[in-house]
């Protein structure tokens, strides 16, 4: 038979010695590792009072950004939903009305934008696919909930508030979105 690679390994079928049969060296070696770990100092962090440092490229909770005038950047193109490998993003597009020019940048906007956080794998492909730089993963931790329904985030939880803008400069500087 012809092999496709040269990574062939010859397996030996030699008989086991008496020490290998009773597994005593393996048990002693495992106990040594266990006792060595027992004597180490723990890595426990008292969470609310003490925070661990996060990497600058940590991918946390999503945010839908606004422009300088407070209008939503999302134009409901659907590229983020197509790029999502977990199919966690759903949206419904709508046409902007004349009296809504101060709310949305383009003629088309996302009337419904939902992310199922139980399905999301926080890969960041949605923010890479967005041509309008509307969605980003922030450094905020996704809060815990008790019910499954609370993990489907709508626009009310995703769009950044006007009075409390979310800084995503670390995310913009760390990847392809350099200006």
- Domain CATH for 103: 3.30.70.3270
Q: Can you tell me the mean pLDDT for 77-98?
A: 91
End-to-end CA separation in angstroms for the chain:
56
Over 70: is that where the pLDDT of 178 sits? no
Q: How confident is the model at residue 103 (pLDDT cuts 50, 70, 90)?
A: confident
Residue 47 lies in a domain: no
Question: Is residue 78's pLDDT more than 50?
Answer: yes
- Res. 7: pLDDT tops 80: no
Domain of 146, in residue numbers: 62-174
- The confidence score (pLDDT) of residue 171 equals 66
Task: Indicate whether 161 belongs to any domain.
Answer: yes
User: CA 133, CA 160: separation in Å to the nearest integer?
Assistant: 13
What is the reported pTM? 0.68
| Contact (CB, 8 A) for 60 and 140 | yes
List beta partners, residue 153.
Answer: 115
Residue 90 lies in a domain: yes
Question: Residue 128 falls within a domain, yes or no?
Answer: yes
Per the domain annotation, does 15 fall within a domain?
A: no
Please check the confidence at residue 4 and state whether its pLDDT lies above 80: no
Four-CA torsion 38, 43, 48, 54, nearest 10 degrees: -160
Residue 40 in any domain: the answer is no
User: Average pLDDT in the 100-126 region?
Assistant: 89
If one compares 171 and 92, the residue with the highest pLDDT of the two is 92
Question: What is the structure's pLDDT at 121?
Answer: 95
What CA–CA distances, in Å, run from 75 to 7, 9, 93, 106? 52, 56, 8, 6
Residue 138 has pLDDT above 80, yes or no: yes
**Which residues are within 8 A (CB) of 124 and not within 5 positions of it... i.e. 6 or more apart?**
59, 137, 175
- Compute the distance between CA of residue 84 and CA of residue 173 in angstroms, rounded to an integer: 22
The average confidence (pLDDT) of the chain is 85
Residue 21 in this model has a pLDDT that exceeds 80 = yes
- Whether 93 is covered by a domain: the verdict is yes
The structural domain count of the chain equals: 1
The pLDDT assigned to 86 comes to 92
In-domain check, residue 144: yes
Q: What is the pLDDT of residue 5?
A: 65
Position 120 pLDDT exceeds 90:
yes
Which pLDDT does position 3 carry in this prediction? 57
From 134, 135, 139, 133, select the one nearest 59 (Cα to Cα).
Answer: 139
């Amino acid at each position: 038979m012809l092999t496709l690679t040269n990574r062939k390994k010859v397996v030996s079928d030699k008989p086991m010695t008496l020490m290998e049969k009773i597994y005593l060296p393996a048990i002693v070696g495992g106990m040594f590792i266990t006792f060595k770990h027992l004597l180490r100092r723990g890595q426990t962090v008292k969470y609310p009072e003490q925070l661990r440092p996060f990497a600058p490229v940590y991918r946390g909770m999503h945010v839908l950004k606004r422009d300088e005038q407070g209008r939503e950047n999302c134009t409901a193109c659907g590229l983020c939903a197509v790029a999502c490998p977990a199919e966690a993003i759903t949206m419904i597009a709508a046409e902007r009305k004349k009296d809504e020019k101060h709310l949305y940048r383009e003629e088309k906007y996302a009337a419904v934008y939902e992310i199922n956080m139980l399905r999301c794998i926080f890969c960041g492909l949605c923010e890479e696919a967005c041509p309008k730089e509307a969605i980003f993963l922030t450094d905020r931790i996704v809060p815990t909930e008790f019910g499954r329904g609370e993990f489907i985030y709508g626009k009310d939880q995703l769009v950044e508030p006007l009075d409390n803008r979310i800084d995503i400069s670390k995310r913009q500087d760390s990847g392809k979105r350099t200006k």
